[in-house]
Structure 1
């Protein structure tokens, strides 16, 4: 029998702390070490896949044409840009196979753009889930990236058909795999960064459309970037600055992998720039997001 003054149930703070330590328990609000966080994130990979699949289904569940919009959406976007820039502004002049040139640029840019904009709201839209369950919060923005990757693969299926009919398949198509992998790494990092910012600065979702629109026009999506810079006799520092644009690098290595006629117009260091941005952004994004792990869902 316990004597008076004892606390067999461990209801005093010191007793509870000792009991928790004995059984390896810790506060759910404490940020885990980065190594433990990455291991736990890997253990939840099936959740990421399932959540992304559910989002993809929900996007088109209410539409009469359903998932067919996964094909129609990129095609309609490309048609609008082709008419506005290729026909009205004449940017297709001097570019062989402009349709494939334009499609590749739009698909690559849209992949990153949507990861940024949708990822910035990934935590804010799931506050009830965050406050109810304990899990690595990075699973949510990563699921959004996976969802956009699914759309990207559908878009590239269209692109392969177009290039196959116009240029014909070649061994260079194999380079699309490492090129897309590099962009996925970059997108995970940038999505994690904007997911944290969007959680604490809600106005970022209003600002991002203007940022991404400016980025769109500076990335050589509708025209040959080196050719346009030479045409307007741009200063050397402008050329060097735009050469380090990550989207320009990803667009260029995809075009280089698909279009033989793009070879003369390639950016000189596109592959090294793409690799550098991917590694730096992935590492920086994970670290930046993890730093606020114990603050998500509060307030």
Structure 2
């Protein structure tokens, strides 16, 4: 019996010839370099879209009102905040079109918190799939954020309708088109935060409880139902709010939809920096633990 290299064996050799593949062995489940990892994720783009759509379709299958709850939840939350903060506590005094202001705050903040919270559970909620198949684990976090975006499209449309319908109704302007890049930056930021938190939750499940408290504090620091002008004399708190990416999202969207503006350029810069920074840092942090996600905890 003779032995030949696979790249030099002539055609039509006998069956007793052993062909040797000289390519180096690759460990199963090994973490690829970051650029190859990104390329692998791109090859799974169809899976990401299919998974997101399938989960949206089945998310409300057990509810009698089905997908209507996607609209009812933010509306009911907004009505509660309006009653407590607008009527009882009077936080809406001095805010032009407070109802529209509150609606945008509640709807946009709910989208962000649901995306970040769901993204943080992308690994722990899919352990059986991770152990059964080999694929880039980050696709699960991406699919989760795409799912949240798709499921919130009716919510955004309802937000537009309410802003147009509730007095003082606001006219549609060309500036409304800027909602798309604002939402895109918001999506990127949510994805980056979700990737970062997904690694922490995969390692320490107790982090999920801290996320709940963190989003609650984030709610109050983002001026969802009151104006930042209330803290005009407090420079440290004002600086903290100006650096808050969610406050920037709300301020930009409110300026676009309610006040005929295009958003403060400083808000766009802060939001863009957060979106890029969160995606890069969150992606790298998640990628570094790629080989550990399928292990038993």
TM-score normalised over the length of structure 2: 0.88
Match of 1:8 in 2: none
State the partner residue of 2:100.
100
Matched, 1:37 2:37: yes
Asked whether the equivalents of residues 78 and 103 of structure 1 are also in contact (C-alpha less than 8 Å), the reply is yes
Alignment partner, residue 278 of structure 2: 281
Determine whether 1:121 maps to 2:121. yes
- 213-222 vs 79-88, which moves further: 79-88
Give the C-alpha shift of residue 174 in structure 1: 0.7
Structure 1 unaligned segments of length 5 or more: list them.
4-17
Contact 1:249 1:273 in 2 (8 A): yes
- Deviations 1:231-282 (Å, cap 9, x if unpaired)? xx31x2222122101111111111111111788xx76721111111111111
Instruction: Report if aligned partners of 1:107, 1:152 keep a CA contact under 8 Å in 2.
Output: no
How far did 1:22 drift?
3.1
Q: Which has the higher helix share?
A: 1
Normalised to the residue count of structure 1, the TM-score between the two structures is 0.87
Compute the displacement of 1:124 (Å). 0.8
Show the counterpart of 2:244: 245
The answer for the alignment partner of 1:142 in structure 2 is: 142
Deviation string, structure 1 residues 102-155 (Cα, Å, up to 9, x no partner): 111112211221122222221111111000000110011111111111233221
Deviations 1:140-189 (A, max 9, x none): 11111111112332211011112223111111101101100111111110
Question: Please, which of 179, 184, 203 is the counterpart of residue 200 of structure 1?
Answer: 203
* Distance of 2:48 and 2:22 partners within structure 1: 33
CA distance in 2, matches of 1:279, 1:292: 21
Cα distance in 2 for partners of 1:297, 1:280 equals: 27
Secondary structure at the residue paired with 2:92? coil
- In 2, the alpha carbon distance for the partners of 1:259 and 1:201 equals 42
Unaligned runs of 5+ in 2: 4-18
Q: How does 1:75-94 map to 2 (within 5 A)?
A: 75-94=75-94
CA deviations 1:51-95 (Å, max 9, x no partner) are 111221222000111112222222112111111211111112221
Counting only pairs closer than 5 Å after superposition, residues 180-219 of structure 1 correspond to structure 2 as 180-219=183-222
Runs of 4+ more than 2 Å apart: 21-25
What is aligned with 2:12? none
Report the aligned-residue RMSD: 2.1
Question: Would the aligned equivalents of 2:116 and 2:191 in 1 still touch at CA under 8 Å?
Answer: no
